[in-house]
Structure 1
Amino acid sequence: MPLKMLFAFIQPKFIAAMVLSGLVTVVVLYLSILDDTHLNTHLTQNTRTRPVKTMFWYKPNITTEMYLLSAYYDDRPTIDPMTRPAIRIIGMAHKDEVDKEKLSCLVTYEGRETPVLQAITPTDIGIGGWRHGKFFREYIFVCGSLRVKDKNATFVSVVDQTYLTQTNWESHEQVRVPVRYPRREETMDFGCCVSLAYWKFDPYRLVEWVELHRLWGVKEINIYGSMVEDTTERVFLYYHQQGILTYTRVPRPITEDGEIMFHIMATPVINDCMYKNMYRYKKIVVTDLDEMIVPRGNLMTYHDMLAAIENETESSHPYRMYNFRNVYYFSELPQNTSQPEYALTLRQNHHLRELTAHGTATKSISDPMACNNLHNHYCLKIPKMLEKTPHSIQVHEKFGLNQHYKKCHFDKYRKAYNLPSCKEALKNYTYDPTMLKFKKKMLASLKKPLKDLQLIKHVS
């Protein structure tokens, strides 16, 4: 992305805060390694038509090391009236310092010079990981209920007790995160929020993955990418230009080698997706790029699947959520080589006989009105008003399963999770023709994107 395009996205009033946190330097360094020249002329031209947004992390100048991705105004009618409205600040922080320091927020309002100071409640959204000798955890910091209700909140800052003790905060400049107000127009039944994409994915599987979700009724897909390989990003940009997919680049807040940083970034981006679209998506499909929630039996779409589930459920709920069991389609299992090479789900028609245990590797279809903290498997925290109601269903496998396509990984986690070896697990598998019912429509939908992306010249 050209540097001039970046600053077209950043309003001048944000730049001062970015300078304070050292983000301008990070921006320049990051953009210097981004080069869109690998795209063909058609895609490069369209990229200018619908720009790709880059989200940068805000680093408050306080004792507690933290990195903030975004902040959203939350006035949903389903949250506790005692905490409504609130600002939910999404990010990660050094857990020990969060536990030790009392955190507060400074909220700036339109037409008011001095920010309003009030307490923050940290809430977990992930399991965390170690970076440069510190254990970082993913959080949503809840700033609310807001004390000023008759003016729009425009910015929010996070400060700790050490900062408040040592600094006259009223005369000191803080790093300010813009408060976003979620869009309410262009509502749809199903949107998809995907965990962070990084490095490389099979482009044929990506195209198939997108087209299948479109067949099942997903109208919009959100993918956040970091250090994504060229061919992989070319697929994301192709669908981004069509408006089917919204692709957002997110650089790492801490530049260390390995995957741990990407894992810590995963739940912040999913929660950014949920809060950004909480009024637009009636249901959010939560999944990853190597798996998909598949309607089974004679069910062909997500709408049909949820209707069938509700038809066999005694109680009703206006904000229902659905958790699906996982089954592994390991690539080492026998494959149907008579199916086209680019239709991988048709070729991989064997899976492990045993489903993954309940609650393990689960994926979900969640309701943003009933979820405060979203994990990349299911909703972690719901509003108190809904806690005593049957808000979630553990879906029976006859309605749908989370089909997980990957190479067997059991040997790596054998001791930690008491798993069989891959050699033993791969002996116990079964044939499953479920994907064949989608074959005709899926193959027809694959033709154009595969040709446009020059992944294949002739699609039968």
Structure 2
Amino acid sequence: MVTRRSIRRLLPVVCAVLLVRIYVIRLQEGHGEDDDSALHSWHESTSNEVKSEMEVLHGPSETPQSSVVTETQEVDILLGRGGYQSHQKVLGHGEGQGTAVNMSDRTDLTGSHDHSPLWMRITDDLYTYSGFWDSRPSLPEGPVARVLGIMRYKKELMQPGRGFKVSSWVKDNVLNCSCLLWYTDTNVPSQGTLKAFVYEEGLKVYVGTFLLCYPLSTDEANKVDSMSSNASSNNSQEKIPYAVSIIPKDCQNSSYSLIYLRREEETANASENSSAVCVRPLFGPYNDLVGMAQFISYYSSVLNVNYFYFYDLALNDDVREYLSKVATLGVKINILYWNVPTTDWEKLWDLGSLTALNDCVYRSSKKHTYVAVVDLDEFIVPKMKGLTLEDIYKKVISHKVGNHGDAALIRNVFFCYEFENTKNNATDANELPIFRYIHREDRIWPSKLRSKMIVVPEAVVALGHHMIHHFAKGNLKNHGAPNTIAVMRHYRTCKEVNMGTHATGPRVLDQKTVKDASMMKFRSSILKSRVLQLYLQFIQNKMKSNRIL
């Protein structure tokens, strides 16, 4: 029989159970909101971690005075592997896509505009990688949000016009997309005018494409405002957007993904009148430590380049670790994640390398005065010792009576590995490859065939692999560098390399060869460089670790 005393004892327990039950019910009812908050918090904490790696100090110029690596120095390496700072995430390798953003849910979107780029799916026919606010006065149609990406190629989509191969404007209204521009002073985006321009050289399933979102003119914006409450003008032509959205026509009323724009003022303040090197995406997986070491050692110690941009499709962990140590020496290493939508070579020319190189040029604009666009096995070598990358550019342009902004095309010559193997006078096998292989083909290639270039980033609209296809100004040109100033030494196997346009000529390996040991004049500078000394130290430590294991 339950007594009154028993009831009084059980009452606190019953109340506690009821309170717990009420809490659980309320938690379940607010589950969606709590999940959303957790997602935002995760993105914010993740982005802060990435940002701390990106906020780095510029170290001193490369000097051979010391080979000691100070591990406590600021590590100057950008590992852009996490995704966008807010409201965007990576779904997996080869399938990046922005998380949907509700226009009413925009918390702290504008705290930092220098977001790590990532490939994002807009539709099955359209992917984007990065965005830039381009307000150069020389642009014929005015300031524009320039988004770099790829689209599925169809000949019927292209407008007839001039240009290299398929380089052409896309016909209006065939993308089945529109664009919105996001500004800091309003929660509502402004309607833009979307156009597309293909800059690709090779015809594959997908081609490199500029997606151009132009702010509406004042009259157009007012007309849009009077017809719709979902867009805002607020004199958008006079403001600078921080992001753009590319919207499929069948998703007009859904949430939007943001492509953050790198803006001019963010790079202008960091301008150091410096030189940089852009390298196309590294795949493989790329594990050539000695190749990476000699590349950075040469360009930093000989040509006085201390900024390097790499695109990581498949970097080996040892290479990544070595690069992080190189960054402690004051050599700025920028690694950008290349989660390209497909690794099928038949679908995407050279795994989208032309988009990466154009991204690099736009990324370095206003920050670097001169940029060399080369591969890791290519070395721009001056005839005279003591010339920097800037000196080479100025000498070429001066010789050609050119204008600042012209491109200097450095002519290619192959130092095929097979040339050395067919002779008995090869140098020491322990030498760096650039000193070990001293036989080259007799002829030097003409400019625009296999050549690489030194460019002024602000002067470039669309970059090709071997020359500039579109300049910002009509009076700018490509100039072939005289052999008396510089050549580009290309070290590689040449088994499948042919001469001629589109590699339709005879085999390179069938050509006459000559001995050329002129690279030796830079040997002392390279071997004494801290970058190479660090490599030797790194290898020794790895060997000791492997023995211990």
What TM-score comes out, normalization by structure 1 length?
0.78
Q: What's the counterpart of residue 396 of structure 2?
A: 309
Matched, 1:177 2:259: yes
Q: Which structure: larger Rg? A: 2
Matched, 1:151 2:239: yes
| Residue deviations 1:310-345 (CA, integer Å, cap 9, x gap) | 4433x3423232011111110111276445724221
> Is the 8 Å Cα contact of residues 327 and 404 (structure 1) preserved in structure 2?
yes
Cα gap change, 1:56 to 1:453, in 2 (>3 Å): same
Matched, 1:140 2:213: no
Matched, 1:56 2:141: no
Alignment of structure 1 residues 348-363 onto 2, 5 Å? 348-363=437-452
| Residue deviations 1:231-266 (CA, integer Å, cap 9, x gap) | 333333332444524232424333545586582321
Matches of 1:25 and 1:261, distance apart in 2: 20
Q: What's the counterpart of residue 374 of structure 2?
A: 287
- Give the alignment partner of residue 535 of structure 2, picking from 442, 450, 457: 450
Q: What's the counterpart of residue 327 of structure 1?
A: 413
| Residue deviations 1:83-126 (CA, integer Å, cap 9, x gap) | 23211101111123766435432111122233222322322232
Q: Unpaired runs of 5+ in structure 1?
A: 31-52
| Residue deviations 1:135-191 (CA, integer Å, cap 9, x gap) | 10111222235641333312211235xx1xx45x3x431222112214111423311
Matches of 1:414 and 1:397, distance apart in 2: 19
Cα gap change, 1:449 to 1:419, in 2 (>3 Å): farther
SS of alignment partner, residue 227 of structure 1 = coil
Matches of 1:26 and 1:457, distance apart in 2: 31
Q: What's the counterpart of residue 194 of structure 1?
A: 279
Alignment of structure 1 residues 219-368 onto 2, 5 Å? 219-256=306-343, 261=348, 263-298=350-385, 300-313=387-400, 315-334=401-420, 337-339=426-428, 341-368=430-457
Amino acid at match of 2:129: L
The Cα of 1:288 is off from its aligned counterpart by 0.7
Q: Percent identity?
A: 17
Cα gap change, 1:433 to 1:178, in 2 (>3 Å): same
SS of alignment partner, residue 410 of structure 1 = coil
SS of alignment partner, residue 309 of structure 1 = helix
Aligned residues: 410
SS of alignment partner, residue 484 of structure 2 = coil
The Cα of 1:193 is off from its aligned counterpart by 1.1
Q: What's the counterpart of residue 403 of structure 1?
A: 489
Matches of 1:305 and 1:456, distance apart in 2: 38
SS of alignment partner, residue 318 of structure 1 = coil
Give the number of the structure whose residues are more often strand, by fraction: 1
Q: What's the counterpart of residue 418 of structure 1?
A: 504
Alignment of structure 1 residues 421-432 onto 2, 5 Å? 421=507, 423-425=509-511, 428-432=512-516
Alignment of structure 1 residues 96-175 onto 2, 5 Å? 96=154, 100-101=174-175, 103-128=177-202, 130=204, 135-144=205-214, 147=217, 148-160=236-248, 163=249, 166-167=250-251, 169=252, 171-175=253-257
Cα gap change, 1:306 to 1:415, in 2 (>3 Å): closer
SS of alignment partner, residue 308 of structure 1 = helix
- Give the alignment partner of residue 92 of structure 2, picking from 13, 22, 26: 26
> Is the 8 Å Cα contact of residues 129 and 260 (structure 1) preserved in structure 2?
no
Matches of 2:516 and 2:341, distance apart in 1: 43
What TM-score comes out, normalization by structure 2 length?
0.67
